[in-house]
Amino acid sequence: MQYDIAVIGGGPAGVSAAITAASKGRKVILFEAHGFSPRLRSVAKISDYMGIPDVSGTELMDIFVKHLFQSGTDVVEEKIISLREVGEGFVLGTPTGDYTADAVVLATGISRSTLIPGEKEFLGKGVSYCALVDAPKFKHKRVAAIATVPDALNEIEYLADQVEQVFFFPRYQGFVPPKKKNITVVLDTPTEITGTDKVTGLRAGDDFYSVQAAFVFRASDPLNSFLPGLEIRGRSIYVDDQAETNIEGVFAGGDCTGQPWQVNRAAGQGQKAALSAIRYLGRRDEGINY
Ligand SMILES: Cc1cc2nc3c(=O)[nH]c(=O)nc-3n(C[C@H](O)[C@H](O)[C@H](O)COP(=O)(O)OP(=O)(O)OC[C@H]3O[C@@H](n4cnc5c(N)ncnc54)[C@H](O)[C@@H]3O)c2cc1C
């Protein structure tokens, strides 16, 4: 199906964008990779959300998600790993398939952890954000897996089925050891991904691990990892006052566009991005030079 608007991210910003666009009669699809805002769900008590005082992050997010599912939006609980401009629209890739849309709203939140030295340099040269896509390239090899979210464990176990050995660096609380014998858990902090033209190792604590790949699992990947031409300023996606990015047809809202990192702002910005996307589609369909 060809969608009018694809929303990437199911936190407050993405849910708000999808509900807004669907309420205006647009065909909308939303992609969510990690159970609808692990960030907001981690908050024990929110006291500053208008009209709903003293609510937990999970309770608030559940209210948003219930509304999302009532809105007529198609929801795909998979991660977007690629976004390509094709003709006048976009093709969005998940590990299991492609989807097409005329406009895109980015609402991917912020990546709280800083990049590991070497991560940016070796992206696509041994550094990967998706085991489902890249694990088969490393059959019979040793790899590192660094995770800041517990739900990465399924992907790490899949990775272990494909490769010879996984050195697993859990970087979150409440860690439960995986059962597979070829997963070695290392509690030291990874400090550097090393290599020449591709990954050859990883340093953590005083040790060096000889690996051919480093898989990094976070709630939100570095902002332009799936859309390389996207303009980033500091730690945020650059948007103008209409929530437009530097790429025509791509809009953004929420924490991924900057501070303050707040639910109200994220929801408002998601709505603005959706309304701008609708305006863009309307002008484009009428042949007005945008
Ligand atoms: C400890 C803490 C306390 C806080 N307290 C408050 C408070 O009291 N009041 C308040 O207003 N705010 C508070 N916040 C901030 C609030 O949680 C954020 O501002 C809000 O969640 C931002 O919403 P968002 O939709 O922009 O991003 P997020 O909520 O981070 O959602 C982004 C979503 O995008 C998904 N995603 C990312 N990449 C992809 C991809 N490639 N494909 C598919 N899905 C993807 C992620 O899984 C995530 O669900 C707090 C945050 C923290 C961490």
Do the beta carbons of residue 131 and residue 79 sit within 8 Å?
A: no
Q: Could you tell me what percent of the chain has a pLDDT over 70?
A: 98
Q: Three-state SS across 107-157?
A: CCCCCCCCCCCCCCCCECCCEECCHHHHHHHHCCCEEEEEECCHHHHHHHH
| CB of 134 closer than 6 angstroms to any ligand 1 atom | no
> What pLDDT digit, counting tens, does each position of 257-289 carry?
998 999 999 999 999 999 999 999 998 877 665
Q: Tell me if 261 CB under 6 Å of ligand 1.
A: yes
The reported pLDDT for the residue numbered 112 is: 65
pLDDT attached to residue 149: 83
CA-nearest residue, atom 35 of ligand 1:
9
pLDDT at 248: 95
> Which residue minimizes the CA distance to atom 4 of ligand 1?
43
Residue 240 has pLDDT above 90, yes or no: yes
Residue 11 CA, ligand 1 centroid: distance in Å: 5
pLDDT the model gives residue 226 = 80
Please tell me the least confidently modeled range out of 74-88, 180-194, 219-233, 274-288.
219-233
Mean of all residue pLDDT scores within the chain: 92
Distance (angstroms) between ligand 1 centre and the Cα of 264 equals: 11
Size of the chain in residues: 290
Say yes or no: CB of residue 33 within 6 Å of ligand 1.
yes
pLDDT computed for residue 181 by the predictor: 93
113 has pLDDT over 90 = no
Distances (CA, A) of 270 to 18, 201, 206, 243: 8, 40, 44, 9
pTM reported for the whole predicted model: 0.86
Residue 13 Cβ inside 6 Å of ligand 1? The answer reads yes
User: Which of 20, 37, 264 for a ligand 1 pocket mutation test, highest count of atoms within 8 Å of Cβ?
Assistant: 37
CA of 35 to the centre of ligand 1 (A): 11
Instruction: Categorize the per-residue pLDDT at 290 as very low, low, confident or very high, splitting at 50, 70 and 90.
Output: very low
Query: Domains of the chain, with CATH numbers?
Result: 2-112+220-285 (3.50.50.60), 127-217 (3.50.50.60)
Ligand 1 binding pocket includes 43 (Cβ within 6 Å): yes
pLDDT in tens, 126-185: 999 888 888 999 999 999 999 988 888 889 999 999 999 999 999 988 888 888 999 999
* Per-residue confidence (pLDDT) for residue 289, from 0 to 100: 53
The answer to whether residue 233 scores a pLDDT higher than 60 is yes
